[in-house]
Amino acid sequence: MNDRKLLLVDDEPMLLELLKEEFEDLGIHCFTAENGFKALDIIKRENLDAILCDINMPGMDGLDLLIEMRRLQFETPLVFLTGHGEKDHAIRALRTGAGDCINKPDDRTQLIETVTQALALGVELRSLEKELDELCAKVDPVSPQLQQYREIQKFFLKNKKHIKVLNKRVG
């Protein structure tokens, strides 16, 4: 399934390269960025399925990146990598809309599982958005019903991501 697209964001070049190799070995197309500013450029340019991002970086950190993404209405699932002792950052990230937070790769299996789930959700969201766009192309674009439907769809897509995260934590 080579159509999955993952953005890896970390200010540690060696970790970034290791993560890229790990996920490319799984058949996932990876983009990399060393900071939040470069990541934002890629996010604007590419149709990504998920983002794995360090939460604590110089310049634009992971939280600022997430806030800017949401301001620009990018709903790509984002998983944060946190260092030990960054519990407060992790809580803020989840409250801001991150899909999940995991400790920097000390558990390879958890990392792969979490990112794979985020990618699956991203692929599903992208598919739903494409389907919606195709339906809208067939209907009068100024129709109040269509505009209302699009708003409901956007609300659903936003909240579906959060519901899956909650179900994962409860279940």
Write out pLDDT tens, residues 91-112: 676 666 666 778 776 778 888 9
Classify residue 161: in a domain, yes or no: no
Contacts of 154 (CB under 8 A, 6+ apart): none
Instruction: Give me the domain span that covers residue 107.
Output: 5-123
Write out pLDDT tens, residues 119-150: 988 888 888 778 777 777 776 666 777 677 77
Classify residue 28: in a domain, yes or no: yes
Q: Is the pTM of this model over 0.75?
A: yes
Classify residue 152: in a domain, yes or no: no
| Separation in Å, CA 169 to CA 1, 3, 78, 166 | 27, 28, 16, 5
CATH code of 68's domain: 3.40.50.2300
Classify residue 165: in a domain, yes or no: no
- Tell me the pLDDT band of 39, cut-offs 50, 70 and 90: very high
The domain total for the chain is 1
Classify residue 72: in a domain, yes or no: yes
Classify residue 140: in a domain, yes or no: no
Classify residue 105: in a domain, yes or no: yes
Classify residue 155: in a domain, yes or no: no
